[in-house]
Structure 1
Amino acid sequence: MSIIAFIPVRGGSKSIPHKNIKSFCGKPLVFWTLGALQDMDKVDEVVVATDCDEIEDTILQFNFSKVRIYRRLPQNATDTASTESVMLEYIKKSSLTKDDYFILVQATSPFTQKADIEGGLNLLLESQYDSVLSTVRFKRFLWNNDGTPFNYDFKNRPRRQDFDGKLMENGAFYINTVGNIIDSTNRLSGKVGIYEMPDYTAVEIDELEDWSAAEDIMRRHILKRDAIQTHNIKLFLTDVDGVLTDAGMYYSENGDELKKFNTRDGMGIRLLKENGIKTGIITSENTKIVENRAKKLNVDYLYQGKISGGKLDAAKDICKKESITLQEVAYIGDDLNCFDLLSNVGLAACPSDAVDKVKGIPNIKILNKRGGEGVVREFIDNWILA
């Protein structure tokens, strides 16, 4: 028995062109649901059904190990094609069995968290339900066209806190078995279980007017919570080549080695220091250039060259001096010599062009920018000082 997640994303959206890969709070919209599914231990594979080369290229750059691209047929990627049509198309062409579980997830619901999908899946696995859908509790007083109340007695108007309201689909996810989907040709069938999500998840991004409001909700309810969870960061460390620089090797006519740094990263480190967070550079190279840059940035610690025990031991040494733990450290690196340290700190990140092994570290933040393009500032702004 396998558990497959399925995300249909078309390239032909009319209301918001290419909305599934349009930047939403600093990342392509589809990234948020893919990230939640990638982190789920029970999900074996995440299938993205698309008809668009640009969407495919964007998703592949995330380097999520569970994600696979399925190129949907043109007739099932039109404005009038149903989601069920592409689900059934994929099921027919795949090697899934009728006992496999199928999770339909919408990319336009970026507020969906790993815990939400896990909750819905557990509800199905541990109950007598045949399928499960996500909902929100809608506490509004509704009326019929004929002037009669639909869901309350206006002569005995309840207080909102005493009003049960009604459950409304929020479109975040639907879970069923492959066999049930084939038999019913529908995402839901049989006895349906209800998984209730927070009311703010009712917002779906279908029109351009929804975008700013949805980003505000994301910042207040999701990113702010993540920032609070990482707010105990007391030390920021960074690699140099491939992070503060583009990893290029530049030489003058006299043979002098040159490195290109990004001034925005420097401002980010300054902001950290203003917020009481210690800073440091750990690099395997040993150059005067880096020493000068460290002085310019006024970092608290600089470890260069071959370090006994590698970068992880260097970080532990700093933690000992600061009387903190590795869980209070944020580190950004890009290559194999950063792997051990990235795997042990409380908050880890890497540039978008980091090596695949680094990108595969559980819970690492894969940033949008490449090394040398201001990726350190992106990490600082979006995750440490969010």
Structure 2
Amino acid sequence: MPLRAHSKSIIEKNVRNIAGRPLFAWSLEQAIASQCFDDIYVATDSPKIRKAVLEEFPSVTVLERSAATCMDTASTESAMLEFQQQVPFDVMCLIQATSPLTRADDFRSARHKFLTENLDSLLTAVPSKRFFWSVHGTPVNYDPLHRPRRQDFEGYLMENGAFYLTQRKLLEECGCRLGGRIGIHEMAAESGIEIDDETDWIVVEQLLLKQKRQTVNAVAAEIKALVLDVDGTLTDGGMYYGPGGEALKKFNTRDAHGMKLLRENGIRVGVITTETSPSVEARMRKLGIDEYYPGARDKFAVLLQLATRWSVSLQHIAYIGDDLCDLECMRRVGAAFCPADAVPEIMQQAHHVCGHAGGNDAVREVCDLILKARTAVLAEVSASRLAATGAMKL
């Protein structure tokens, strides 16, 4: 993935956050998840990008990119040819950060097509049933005298620039990413937008947020444990002090009932807080929550201990937090949630930002979401079994 420091249309586009993550992280994460590649590289001229990539993905190798390949007039092929001189390979996959809607399955399907059809190169494209005209008023892809109905028009495939596969020999001989036997991997229509300006950014961000919501529902159904913070999550963040120090904190009864429902459905609940508070301890006793860890300076270390003791992977743990001390936990779990009034850094990391504030039904909202997702999956399984039984009887 080539990433240069300066973008002409959007300042620092490649590391700017979109839907809570740096732009480069979306497609790079999917490339890693696809398990299609022996090694994954980022080529950049920016120390800031280098640092951001390695923080997100320590397994990625970051290479120095020359100034000549980062000029506004430089082609992407120049970066590919420079990479070719540094790294031995048989087939290169050029991944574009400006197509963050690329999925792991796209890489897998494209790789399979490339290998089974013995291709020299491959591009990605999306279906289009638009009618195109040249600037001189000449129809490009249809006859106006025999204008087809949209439903009868086969349409064309539009190159979307998400990624390309290229044989090393082809790149050496032609200096081009495409040539020889060319194949096309068709992607979802919404992935047709390459981010080139602020309007593209706004549209793609909404699509990514929609994708995140769908992902959260799928992940929530697999959740086996919920771990959460106290101040600003179970409470509104307020503290009532008397002459002798802290006296009272306000908790929400509906939040408590939500956690009770989770436990009744076999989902573990743990609470980790940096504070040590008699009132919180009393509340935990009242709720019957044994996994309560006050005074935690390293919340993630405690979370890891919990995961080990419960024999639950981090991917099957949900976490609710509202402040910077929760950030590492949020980054590492399968489903990260935050109240509506969490700090911006936490909101960016969350898979789901609650419609309610801390201490005001945010925790209940998450509990209900998890239970609803689980119920939906169980209903599907039950329906499938019933259908299978009916088929056997027939």
TM-score by length of 2: 0.68
- Does residue 88 of structure 2 align to residue 117 of structure 1? no
Alignment of 1:107-186 (within 5 A): 107-186=97-176
Q: CA deviation at 1:113?
A: 0.5
Mapped contact 2:220–2:335 kept (Cα < 8 A): no
Q: Name the counterpart of 2:352.
A: 381
Give the counterpart of 1:8 among 2, 8, 23: 2
Matched residue type, 2:65? R
Q: Name the counterpart of 2:43.
A: 49
Mapped contact 1:280–1:300 kept (Cα < 8 A): no
- Does residue 80 of structure 2 align to residue 87 of structure 1? yes
Query: What SS is found at the alignment partner of 1:170?
Result: strand
Cα distance change on mapping 1:349 and 1:304 into 2, 3 Å = closer
Q: Name the counterpart of 2:184.
A: 194
Cα distance change on mapping 1:297 and 1:172 into 2, 3 Å = farther
Cα distance in 1 for partners of 2:141, 2:255 equals 56
User: In the TM superposition, what whole-angstrom CA distance separates every residue of 1:103-128 from its partner, at most 9, and x where no partner exists?
Assistant: 10000100000001111111101112
Cα distance in 1 for partners of 2:285, 2:187 equals 45
User: In the TM superposition, what whole-angstrom CA distance separates every residue of 1:238-265 from its partner, at most 9, and x where no partner exists?
Assistant: 1669x98xxxxxxxxxxx9x9xx9x9xx
Cα distance in 1 for partners of 2:315, 2:286 equals 23
Query: What SS is found at the alignment partner of 2:118?
Result: coil
**Greater helix fraction, Structure 1 or Structure 2:** 2
Matched residue type, 1:282? G
- Does residue 265 of structure 2 align to residue 295 of structure 1? no
Give the counterpart of 1:282 among 270, 273, 276: 270
- Does residue 330 of structure 2 align to residue 337 of structure 1? no
- Does residue 16 of structure 2 align to residue 30 of structure 1? no
Q: CA deviation at 1:17?
A: 0.7
Q: CA deviation at 1:131?
A: 1.1
Mapped contact 1:237–1:332 kept (Cα < 8 A): no
Cα distance in 2 for partners of 1:75, 1:272 equals 61
Q: Name the counterpart of 1:103.
A: 93
User: In the TM superposition, what whole-angstrom CA distance separates every residue of 1:53-98 from its partner, at most 9, and x where no partner exists?
Assistant: 1111111211x2431111101111111111111111121022x14x
Cα distance change on mapping 1:161 and 1:280 into 2, 3 Å = same
Query: What SS is found at the alignment partner of 2:61?
Result: strand
Q: CA deviation at 1:33?
A: 1.0
RMSD over aligned CA atoms reads 4.3
Percent of aligned positions that are identical = 29
Matched residue type, 2:3? V
Cα distance in 2 for partners of 1:297, 1:348 equals 22
User: In the TM superposition, what whole-angstrom CA distance separates every residue of 1:201-227 from its partner, at most 9, and x where no partner exists?
Assistant: 11111112211111112223x223313
Give the counterpart of 2:226 among 225, 229, 237: 237
Cα distance change on mapping 1:294 and 1:10 into 2, 3 Å = farther
Query: What SS is found at the alignment partner of 1:39?
Result: helix
Cα distance in 2 for partners of 1:272, 1:172 equals 46
Q: CA deviation at 1:37?
A: 1.3
Cα distance in 2 for partners of 1:49, 1:180 equals 21
Cα distance change on mapping 1:301 and 1:67 into 2, 3 Å = same
Cα distance in 2 for partners of 1:121, 1:17 equals 33
Mapped contact 1:109–1:203 kept (Cα < 8 A): yes
Q: CA deviation at 1:376?
A: 9.2
Q: Name the counterpart of 1:249.
A: none
User: In the TM superposition, what whole-angstrom CA distance separates every residue of 1:6-42 from its partner, at most 9, and x where no partner exists?
Assistant: x011111121111111110011111101110121223
Cα distance in 2 for partners of 1:287, 1:118 equals 47
Cα distance in 2 for partners of 1:376, 1:146 equals 49
Q: Name the counterpart of 2:316.
A: 346
